[in-house]
Amino acid sequence: MALIKSISGIRGTIGGQVGDGLSPLDIVKFTAAYGTWAIRRHAGKRVKVVVGRDARISGEMVDRIVVGTLMGLGIDVVEIGLATTPTTEIAVTNENAHGGIILTASHNPKQWNALKLLNEKGEFLNDEDGKLVLSIADKEDFHFADVDDLGQVTHVTDYNERHIQEVLDLKLVDVEAIKKANFSVAIDAVNSVGGVVLPQLLKALGVKNVIELYCEPNGHFPHNPEPLPEHLTAIADVMKSGKADVGFVVDPDVDRLAMVCEDGSMFGEEYTLVAVADYVLANTPGNTVSNMSSTRALADVTNAHKGEYTASAVGEVNVVTEMKAKNAIIGGEGNGGIIYPESHYGRDALVGIALFLTQLAKNGKKVSELRAEYPSYFISKNKIQLTPEIDVDAILVAMKEKYKNERVNDIDGVKIDFAEEWVHLRKSNTEPIIRIYSESKDEAKANALAEKIISEIKEIIK
């Protein structure tokens, strides 16, 4: 069993001993810590928190414990039921709430669940606030409400529709153009909440022919829920049969978007953001941000549109912080996460689908033709397992020194930018490993760069 505590939330497997997984007692403990943090942050106010969940098997159980714990603290709860992560983020601000909890373990397998924690802006907690929550939990520094001060629950059941309407209202979403294009669209919602929301969204966008794969929100994932090529064989087969113009795949909480071309080839998760940013930049010039482990293609596209690209530390909260600092008009992560501030500061697959379909409708190209227009890169993802006594920081310092004549960024590990490729070295916060991401023009070159760096690290360790 596993329980992972981080600033962005608490993630664990269901079942087992207390402290070894996400047991009911652990759920109470960390919910109480978050609620206590929110009460102290908004001292003197009656605190209100939004709770939404994906369709995991454990979702209802976790939901009841979370809601009851918040009520026990004297916090009012807006319960929105089955909802995507971006829907819950939007609900926080729409309800003028003081925070939100999303019950989802994102792309993790079905035995996992998690509490993703939001502030009053509907954004993930920053490092300082996340550490405060963990400290409160560690000390069990809670004070529950007297019987006359218990929290109340309000059930709101139309937030998926509200979210969809906000997407339709975006200036760069052209419903008439999409409707006129008469697309056939295949979707894979991995039997989670996307199975509820995506068909509604596509219908609202004027898409009449939708081929639905795994749209029953029962939490029984038919394949590994992370939307990587090796897991998407079913929708690839649909596309190869010529039945659809484009395929969309989401993870269980619908903040990541992968796309499949009309011929069954993968558009590439890294290129979801690249394509949508290209469309946005063509219509509203400006700056972009992605994390340091994302493809260089976004920088290429941004430069072509005369904008400024900036790389942030890994993590959605870091991308958002940098986007605000650079006044970026679009940003996100290479895992298919699109952040479009015109909507809100959170990864949102619904926004990505609507913008991409508009782009496709306006340019009249096949998806594979559009993909071929972008710079071609390949990212190789590797890691080195280390023994606990090895000083990972010292290794990173040594690598930084070794490549001091190249462009080196050390805001999050060490990223070395070469003329036509890059490599990013990061230590894990939870285990003794170094993650090594390398990108080059093709798979062989990316792998060769990774192997070279791994060899050099092993020499340092000796």
- Residue 283 burial (10 A CB sphere; 0-12, 13-18, 19+): middle
Active site positions, annotated: 106
User: What is the rounded distance in angstroms from the CA atom of residue 316 to the CA atom of residue 299?
Assistant: 18
Q: Is residue 379 within 8 Å of 270, Cβ to Cβ?
A: yes
Q: Residue 273, Cα to own-chain centre: how many angstroms?
A: 12
Alpha helix locations (H) across 169-268?
175-181, 194-204, 233-240
In this structure, the number of other CB atoms found within 10 A of the CB of residue 277 comes to: 29
227 touches 250 (CB < 8 A):
yes
Q: Whose structure tokens read 């994302």?
A: 294
Distance, first Cα to last Cα, the chain: 34
Q: b/e per residue, 28-49, with b = 16+ CB within 10 A?
A: bbbbbbbbbbbbeeeeeeebbb
Q: Which amino acid is at 136?
A: I
115 contacts 66 by C-beta, under 8 angstroms: yes
Element (H, E) at 162: helix 159-168
Q: Which of 338, 373, 345, 369 is nearest to 257 (CA)?
A: 338
Q: Are 37 and 133 in contact (CB under 8 A)?
A: yes
